[in-house]
Amino acid sequence: GENVEQHPSTLSVQEGDSAVIKCTYSDSASNYFPWYKQELGKRPQLIIDIRSNVGEKKDQRIAVTLNKTAKHFSLHITETQPEDSAVYFCAASYDRTGTASKLTFGTGTRLQVTL
Partner 1 sequence: DADVTQTPRNRITKTGKRIMLECSQTKGHDRMYWYRQDPGLGLRLIYYSFDVKDINKGEISDGYSVSRQAQAKFSLSLESAIPNQTALYFCATSDSSGGGYGYTFGSGTRLTVV
Contact residue for partner 1 among 86, 103, 111, 113 (CB under 8 A): 103
Please report, in angstroms and rounded to a whole number, the separation of the first and last CA atoms in the chain. 41
Contact residue for partner 1 among 43, 60, 69, 115 (CB under 8 A): 43
Site membership for partner 1, residue 7 (CB under 8 A): no
Cα separation of 77 and 62, whole Å?
5
Contact residue for partner 1 among 25, 66, 108, 111 (CB under 8 A): 108
The CB density around residue 67, as the number of other CB atoms within 10 Å, is 12
Structural contact between residues 22 and 76, judged by C-beta atoms closer than 8 angstroms:
no
- Give the interface with partner 1 as residue ranges (CB under 8 A): 1, 6, 9, 32, 34, 36, 42-46, 49, 51, 89, 95, 97-108
